[in-house]
Amino acid sequence: MIEAYMALHEDGYAHSLEVWENGNLIGGLYGLSLGAIFFGESMFSLKSGASRAGFLRLGSFLFGNGFLCIDSQVRTDDIAGMGGREIPRTQYLGILKSALAYPDRIGDWGSLFPTFDASGSVLGVENFHDMA
């Protein structure tokens, strides 16, 4: 699985977000981008609320750049607490069809999006305590 995601990352489809506090990695998430939809695969927190802060920052970035949906795949209390909701399959398939009609944003997001700072100051959530 690790090799598959590394290959998807090298091909420009898999992306990750890290949450740092005082130089220490405290959380993060990764997923796949196809068209105008982001499929969240997994999140982790070494400090309470860290993955939540990362997810909220990622959502703001994605929706600000024309993405239509984040598919978290499973309904959790955490995702629901951030505004996520379960939708009927027919509605999901309609969103999926629309989102996949958009071109893929393949490659390094630091190059594709002017507001994405690959050094982490935009999506790295350097000021975690301000977001928690």
The tens digit of pLDDT for each residue in 38-85 reads: 999 998 999 988 888 888 888 888 998 899 999 988 888 888 887 888
The DSSP letter of residue 36 is T
What value does the mean pLDDT take over residues 99-120? 77
Cα–Cα distances in angstroms (integers) from residue 33 to residues 48, 75, 94, in the given order: 26, 19, 17
pLDDT at 128: 43
Question: If pLDDT is split at 50, 70 and 90, which confidence band does 116 have?
Answer: low
Say how far apart CA 59 and CA 75 lie, in whole Å.
Answer: 16
Q: Locate tokens 């499929």: which residue?
A: 39
The CATH number of 2-112, from 3.60.21.10, 3.90.1150.10, 3.20.20.60, 3.40.630.70, is: 3.40.630.70
Domain residue limits, the chain: 2-112
pTM higher than 0.85, yes or no?
A: no
The tens digit of pLDDT for each residue in 82-98 reads: 788 888 999 999 999 99
User: 29, 55 in Cβ contact below 8 A?
Assistant: yes
How far is CA 103 from its chain centroid?
A: 18
